[in-house]
Amino acid sequence: MPDPSQVFAAALAELESRGIRRRRRASTQQRDAVRYAVDGSRRISFASNDYLGLAQHPALIDAAREAAQRLGVGATASPLICGHSPSHAALEDELARFVGLPRAIYFYAGYAANVGTIPALVERGDALISDALNHACLIDGARLSRAELKVYAHNDLAALERALVETRGARRRLVIADAVFSMDGDLAPLPEMLALCERHDAWLMIDDAHGFGVLGEGGRGSLSHWFAGRGLREGAMPDRLIYMATLGKAAGVAGAFVAAVEPVIEWLVQRARTYFFATGAPPMVAETLRAALRVIESEGWRRERLAALRERLGAGLAALPWDAPRTCTAIQPVVIGDNARAMAVMAGLETRGLWVPAIRPPTVPEGTARLRITLSAAHADRDVDALLTALGELSRPAQ
Ligand SMILES: *Cc1c(COP(=O)(O)O)cnc(C)c1O
């Protein structure tokens, strides 16, 4: 019989031998949200999803402190027992109004939102139609649902329509897609997708983890980005749309929400297992998020700053030998291709005090290993310049 203590040690050794064992690093954020202390040395981070620099915002820190003193630090139970509070209720109302949908439900994490929502909406006998580059938690939610899964080529509307035709016999169809794809920073064509869903009587669920706070008027996210000119008001969005966004990225705090028409959200309260079998997020987190929403809306200069940094970075990257497709988000990929080369460039940046993650297959397609640069309104121009200088040095063949 194998020694039980060796079972996982052997599995870990195998990861090590394939060069895919990951290591966490205990890093401390400094006051400005993009400078970190890692193992005693300082790094400028282009790795975080704190796109607006809110994780260190004084108004959010004050809101957290005030709420902790007034409300304590724990929710004490799941939301259907006694873990739902006036703070959660107010946050949900404000989130729904913010994105222009009738009602919202707040989850303690984006992962939990997707893994709980998808199986609540579809089951065996239904069909899920999923973009090939969707985030892992949409895929996990799809697997848990037991609905038939069809994957269509990334952003390929003809392939999406074929999948809708092929699943005609299903009881209910749900199309799921990232609104902003997390490794490329490109957008899903929501108006065309919605039109296809209307034509084929399917539901559309979008994950706006990387668009909320960044895109659209006042940072209202991808719906505003695509539909603002077409009357984005409460009640004006189609009933078949289910909007999800996370609040640990541009909003700078934690958690996520799903917004849709009233009966869909009430159904999630009844049936999303990750919602009611988990302790609610602390009310102080909900209060901190309410402060974040006010800052997202009122400090438009943060999005302007992000756009200026994106222009500066994009112009500099154009002079390098790598493919760096321009985006309108805070995510900028630099496709290096070869895995080892991407790792070497990441290591070279690290020795220069710059923290940019390299992303390899299977997270991205084979042969497209890349740097995933994320910008934050908290970056200074000189941070971007330092990154461009370092990339210039590392791109030369002698390196
Ligand atoms: C980060 C992310 C999630 C998960 O959200 P968490 O709040 O971090 O659990 C879900 N979907 C996408 C597209 C993401 O990028």
Instruction: Identify the domain boundary among 298, 322, 353.
Output: 298
For residues 88 and 275, the answer to whether their CB atoms sit within 8 Å is: no
Closest CA to 354 of 333, 329, 373, 377: 373
pLDDT value at residue 205: 98
Catalytic annotation present for 249: yes
Distance 275 CA to ligand 1 centre (A): 16
Pick the closest to residue 192 from 137, 155, 166, 229 (CA basis): 155
pLDDT at 237: 80
Is 225 one of the annotated active-site residues of the chain?
A: no
Q: Based on the fold, state whether residues 70 and 198 are members of the same structural domain.
A: yes
Same domain, 288 and 319: no
Question: First CA to last CA across the chain, in angstroms?
Answer: 50
182 in active site: yes
- The Å distance, Cα 278 to ligand 1 centre, comes to 18
Residue 356 and residue 349 in contact, taking contact as beta carbons nearer than 8 Å: yes
Q: Is 108 within a domain? A: yes
- If you take atom 8 of ligand 1, which residue's CA is the nearest one? 110
Q: What atom in ligand 1 is closest to the CA of residue 49?
A: 1
> Could you tell me the distance, in angstroms and rounded to a whole number, from the CA of residue 252 to the centre of ligand 1?
13
Protein residues with CB under 6 Å of any ligand 1 atom: 109-111, 114, 135, 137, 178, 182, 207, 209-210, 246, 248, 256
Give the pTM.
Answer: 0.95
Closest ligand 1 atom to the C-alpha of 254?
A: 7
In a domain, 4, yes or no: no
**Which pLDDT score is estimated for 235?**
54
What pLDDT does residue 399 have? 43
Residue 15 lies in a domain: no
Tell me: do 266 and 356 sit in the same domain.
no
184 and 62 share a domain? yes
Helix pair 262-271, 110-121: axis angle to 10 deg:
100
- CATH code of 183's domain: 3.40.640.10
What is the number of the ligand 1 atom nearest to the C-alpha of 111?
Answer: 9
Amino acid symbol at 91: L
Domain at 315, CATH number: 3.90.1150.10
Q: Give the Cα separation of 37 and 35 in Å (integer).
A: 7
Q: Is residue 8 in a domain?
A: no
Domain boundary among 271, 298, 325: 298
- Report the pLDDT value the prediction gives residue 230, as an integer from 0 to 100: 65
Q: Are residues 239 and 149 in the same domain?
A: yes
- Give the model's pLDDT for residue 231: 55
* Residue 367 within any structural domain of the chain: yes
Q: Which tokens sit at 230?
A: 């077409």
In a domain, 163, yes or no: yes
Q: Which residue has the tokens 């710059």?
A: 354
Note whether 244 and 363 are same-domain residues. no
Structurally, the chain folds into a number of domains equal to 2
User: How many of the other CB atoms lie within 10 Å of CB of 66?
Assistant: 14
Task: Give the CA distances from residue 294 to residues 41, 57, 148, 233, 331, in Å, rounded to whole numbers and listed in that order.
Answer: 35, 12, 41, 19, 24
Best residue among 106, 111, 139, 242 to mutate for probing ligand 1's pocket (most ligand atoms within 8 Å of CB) is: 111
- Residue 16 belongs to a domain: no
- The answer on 357 and 246 residing in a single domain is no
pLDDT tens for the 399 residues of the chain, in order = 778 889 999 999 998 888 788 888 888 888 788 999 888 889 999 999 999 999 999 999 999 999 999 999 999 999 999 999 999 999 999 999 999 999 999 999 999 999 999 999 999 999 999 999 999 999 999 999 999 999 999 999 999 999 999 999 999 999 999 999 999 999 999 999 999 999 999 999 999 999 999 999 999 999 999 998 665 555 568 899 999 999 999 999 999 999 999 999 999 999 999 999 999 999 999 999 999 999 999 999 999 999 999 999 999 999 999 999 999 999 999 999 999 999 999 999 999 999 999 998 888 888 999 999 999 999 999 999 999 999 999 998 654
- Please indicate, yes or no, whether residues 272 and 315 belong to a single structural domain of this protein: no
In terms of phi and psi (left: phi > 0; alpha: psi -120 to 50; beta: otherwise), the region of 252 is: left
CA of 110 to the centre of ligand 1 (A): 5
Look at residues 274, 298, 322 and tell me which one is the last residue of a structural domain: 298
Q: Are residues 70 and 208 in the same domain?
A: yes
* AA letter at 145: S
- Does one domain contain both 235 and 379? no
Q: Give the pLDDT confidence score for residue 232 in this predicted structure.
A: 58
CA of 22 to the centre of ligand 1 (A): 19
- Asked if 216 and 135 sit in the same domain, the reply is yes
**Nearest-CA residue for atom 5 of ligand 1:** 110
Query: Of the residues 48, 85, 130, 182, which is catalytic?
Result: 182
Of 11, 24, 25, 46, nearest in space to 345 by CA:
46
Cα–Cα distance, 127 to 202 (Å, whole number): 10
Closest ligand 1 atom number to CA of residue 178: 13
Residues 154 and 247 in one domain: yes
**Residue at 126 is within a domain:** yes
What range defines the domain where residue 356 resides? 21-52+300-395
Cα separation, 337 vs 10, whole angstroms: 30
One-letter amino acid at 282 equals P
- 119 in Cβ contact with 145 (< 8 Å): yes
Q: Show Cβ contacts of residue 144 under 8 Å, excluding neighbours closer than 6 positions.
A: 115, 118, 119
